[in-house]
Chains A and B, each alone.
Chain A
Amino acid sequence: NAGVTQNPKFQVLKTGQSMTLQCAQDMNHNSMYWYRQDPGMGLRLIYYSASEGTTDKGEVPNGYNVSRLNKREFSLRLESAAPSQTSVYFCASLPGLGISYEQYFGPGTRLTVT
Chain B
Amino acid sequence: AQTVTQSQPEMSVQEAETVTLSCTYDTSESDYYLFWYKQPPSRQMILVIRQEAYKQQNATENRFSVNFQKAAKSFSLKISDSQLGDAAMYFCAYNWYSGGSNYKLTFGKGTLLTVNP
> 8 Å CB contacts to B: which residues of A88-104?
88, 90, 92, 94, 97-103
Across the two chains, which residue of chain A brings its CB closest to B94? A99
Interface size on B, residues (CB 8 A): 28
> Contact: B101 with A31, CB < 8 Å?
yes
Q: Which of B13-21, B27-35, B69-77, B79-87 contacts A (4 or more CB under 8 A)?
A: B27-35
Give the A-binding residues of B (Cβ under 8 A): 4, 6, 9, 31-33, 35, 42-45, 47, 50, 52, 91, 95-97, 100-105, 107-110
* B103 and A94 contacting across the interface, CB-CB below 8 Å: yes
B31 → chain A closest CB, angstroms? 7
Q: A99 touching B95 by the CB < 8 A rule? A: yes
Tell me if A40 and B9 are in contact (CB < 8 A): yes
A99 to B105, CA, bound (A): 9
**Residue pair B103, A45 in contact (C-beta under 8 Å):** no
What would 27 A/B residue contacts be, using CB atoms closer than 8 Å? Answer: A31-B101, A31-B103, A40-B110, A41-B109, A42-B4, A42-B6, A42-B91, A42-B107, A42-B108, A44-B107, A45-B104, A45-B105, A48-B102, A50-B101, A50-B102, A51-B101, A58-B104, A94-B103, A99-B31, A99-B32, A99-B33, A100-B52, A102-B35, A105-B44, A105-B45, A107-B44, A108-B43
Please classify how large the interface on chain A is, using the bins under 10, 10 to 19, 20 to 34, 35 or more: 20 to 34
Nearest Cβ in chain B — how far from A107, in angstroms? Answer: 6
B52 to chain A: which residues have CB within 8 Å? Answer: 100
Q: Which of B95, B96, B100, B109 contacts A40 (CB 8 A)?
A: B109
State in angstroms the CA–CA spacing of A33 and B9 once bound together: 26
CB distance from B99 to the nearest CB of A (A): 10
By a CB distance below 8 angstroms, the chain A residues around B101 are 30-31, 50-51, 97
Q: How far is the CA of A2 from the CA of B99 in the complex (A)?
A: 30
